[in-house]
Chain A
Amino acid sequence: MRGRLVLAAAALVSSPALAATGQSATASGQAQAVIITPIIAVALNDLDFGSLTSSRTASGTVTVGAEGAVNYAGGAAPACGGACAGVAPARFLVSGEAGRSYTVSAPATITASGTLIGGGSAPALAIDALTVHLDSHAGAVTSIGQLDDKGEDRIEVGGRLNVPAGTSPAHYRATLTIMVTYS
């Protein structure tokens, strides 16, 4: 009996040595990320200065506003009366993550290379005063826009074509590259 009592006492005293060996616990964590739809700009139509005539003695300009207004100055005049059909600013559709703001960058000037009607290359023409209009900033010219709830916005780009006196009849073409990035 004494032996039994001693064992009982030992068991009680040694109980702190119990360990949770093999016991497991699980926590339900989470990893989070937001992957944004890439932003892209698709050209809808070109910046078109239409058909025009140039003076033999006076230089002129044709200005197409980003919002569509057309203005002829100096020795440049429309070849088809008041204004030729098809004259329009460049238009781009921007698509991306709804509600996100973005920045558009465009060159200040570009150069149009020409091909003479009769063949051969014509002297290049400068296009400057490029202006960018974002529909998300109606009435304002700015380089920062915001995609609507469909994740879209539209960009118009206008510019001024400089026509030196005596410019030969030719077809002119230039490449206008814009870049859109999320802000």
Chain B
Amino acid sequence: MQPIRIVSLNRVIRWTAAAVLGACLAGAAPPALAAAPSVTVSADQALRFGTFFTDTSGSRTVSATGAVSGSAIVPLTGTAPAPAQFTFTYDRGNNANVAYSLLISVLVPGTASQVSGGVTGTIARFDTDLPGISTLIPGQTAQITLTGCQRRICSRTFRVGGTLQVARTSGGAQLAIPLPIVVTVLAEL
């Protein structure tokens, strides 16, 4: 003969409430299935200063909008100058259809420079087409609010230009200067 298990009334009520709540949530909208928010940045295109020569020193500027200018250099045929392009993507982790903004910071860490033989290339400042950030100085963060986010994924593509200073003592060089971009989400507004 099986023993009879006696359950208290209090526990029955608790289980019932939990079951009802679970059933309600299971049938609710997707926001209940929230994932951890995440941030990614991809480098889509390099910042290309093109091909040129300079006697001892000169500079070439490629702006975020693609405008090209130079000082004490002679442009030559070769790869066309173009700004770098990055894509920032924020996944808020749920499908809630709520408008939001993002406060982010953008940073180019360290100095962007390279020495190759008798040629030294340095990028002392950058500019972007992100609204509100006209200048990016290596080592200094710039803050910007991205508005108009609505869906789970909020993505922005932005371009980065800069001024390459070249000092030359001999020969030529192919410069490939690392250009890391760090984007931090400071707040979801």
Q: Could you tell me which A residues sit within 8 Å of B by CB distance?
A: 1-2, 5, 8-9, 12-13, 15-16, 18-39, 97, 100, 181-183
Contact = CB atoms under 8 A, between A and B. Distances in A.
Contacts of B98: 16
A26 B174 CA distance: 25
Contacts of B77: 183
B79 interface: yes
B105 to A, nearest CB: 9
Main secondary structure of the interface of B (DSSP, over half): strand
Given A5-B17, A27-B41, A28-B180, A35 B185 contact: no
A35 B84 contact: no
Interface string B78-96: 1100001010101011101
Among all A-B residue pairs, the 10 with the closest Cβ atoms = A20-B37, A19-B188, A33-B49, A29-B179, A36-B53, A37-B172, A15-B34, A27-B41, A29-B43, A16-B94
Contact of A32 (B76, B88, B176): B176
Contact of A12 (B14, B25, B55, B182): B25
B47 interface: yes
B53 A182 contact: yes
A16 B171 CA distance: 58
Contacts of B121: 33, 35
A26 B37 contact: no
Contacts of B155: none
Contact of B94 (A15, A23, A183): A15
Contact of B168 (A19, A20, A32, A35): A35
Given A30-B176, A32-B46, A16 B34 contact: yes
